[in-house]
Amino acid sequence: MPYVRDSFWRGRQFTSVAQMQSAAVDWCRDVAGRRASRPLAGAAPAAVFAALEAETLQPLPGKPFVLAVWSTAMVGPDIHAKVGKTIYSIPWRYLGRRVDARSTPTVVQFFHNGQLIATHGRKPQGKQTDFSHYPPEKIAFRMRTPAWFRTRAAEIGPACVQVIAELLQVNALFRLRAAQGVLGLADKHTPTRLEAACSRAIAVGDPSYRTVKGVLAAGAETDPPPPAAGDGGAAAHLHGPSQLFANVIPLPTTNTATGADLSSTSDDHDGRGDDERATPDTAALA
């Protein structure tokens, strides 16, 4: 650099970039390339290039050089690593390890020990996830749709189909975990017991994951069904008119003597007694 500064730049002025580039080419060919170079044992750089290096020279890259920013990131428990304001997923095998991140205006690449392990499109902020980076069991859960749950329930039995249908009837995407839990009980308690537990949960009117799990935990899937209440399956507060006041306690009524006293008192008040005498005014009116 000192040689280029002193030999080419010092004392020169250029009015345009094109003039400067043309002058630089002439200087490289006629001045710098013909000088006796000490590192080359006094040989001229242009002569060495023509004799040894010209034949091995490769063409320029077809794409322009892309500037990149390198950083280091830690893969967290959620298999994501943070670069800038964005977190990107990393294959689960690298959980808890440090990785090198190469960021360009369009792509973010992650390397571990020099090996490329993940590539994402650049995102200004937020979260970028590739579900193939999750463990196999997690991928299987995320790929399961409501149709898959219904098909799997049909392999167990009609009662299980009904329970899954009840769970996925409303907000199916938010209740996939509950359906996953019901079907998962088949692996722990066998499909036969799960079908019986689903039937039991339907009989008691609560086809939910918690009820099915509780029935299996208590081993109550083989208990006889509860006796019919005669209400046609109505809710607990609808027992019909015959039972509306079944639990009302009647109040005690007054006795006969008290009623007689009240009757005689009323008669004495309304009629005249035997001791009453007609007053003169009363007689005149009569």
Helix, coil or strand: residue 118: strand
Mean pLDDT of 126-137: 85
For residue range 34-89, list pLDDT tens digits in order: 888 888 888 888 898 888 888 898 988 888 888 999 999 999 998 999 999 999 99
Q: What is the pLDDT of residue 275?
A: 47
CB neighbour burial string for 268-282, b if at least 16 within 10 angstroms, e if fewer: eeeeeeeeeeeeeee
Mean pLDDT of 258-285: 46
Residues 178 and 259: their CA atoms lie apart, in Å, by 68
Most confident of 24-28, 96-100, 146-150, 169-173: 96-100
Out of 68-82, 194-208, 231-245, 270-284, least confident range: 270-284
Helix, coil or strand: residue 134: coil
Q: What is the pLDDT of residue 243?
A: 60
Strands 80-83 and 85-89: antiparallel
pTM of the model: 0.41
> Does the pLDDT of residue 171 top 90, yes or no?
no
Out of 47-51, 164-168, 227-231, least confident range: 227-231
Q: Are 214 and 182 a contacting pair, CB within 8 Å?
A: no
> Does the pLDDT of residue 267 top 80, yes or no?
no
For the four alpha carbons of 76, 81, 82 and 86, in that order, the dihedral sign comes to negative
Mean pLDDT of 114-131: 93
For residue range 4-28, list pLDDT tens digits in order: 888 888 888 889 999 999 999 999 9
Q: Pull the structure tokens for residue 56.
A: 């091995």
> Does the pLDDT of residue 191 top 50, yes or no?
yes
Task: Decide: residue 92, CB within 10 A, 0-12 exposed, 13-18 middle, 19+ buried.
Answer: middle
* Radius of gyration, alpha carbons of the chain: 49
CB neighbour burial string for 23-39, b if at least 16 within 10 angstroms, e if fewer: eeeebeeeebbeeebee
Q: Grade residue 264 by pLDDT with cuts at 50, 70 and 90.
A: very low
Q: What is the pLDDT of residue 286?
A: 41
Mean pLDDT of 194-206: 91
> Does the pLDDT of residue 173 top 50, yes or no?
yes
Mean pLDDT of 117-139: 87
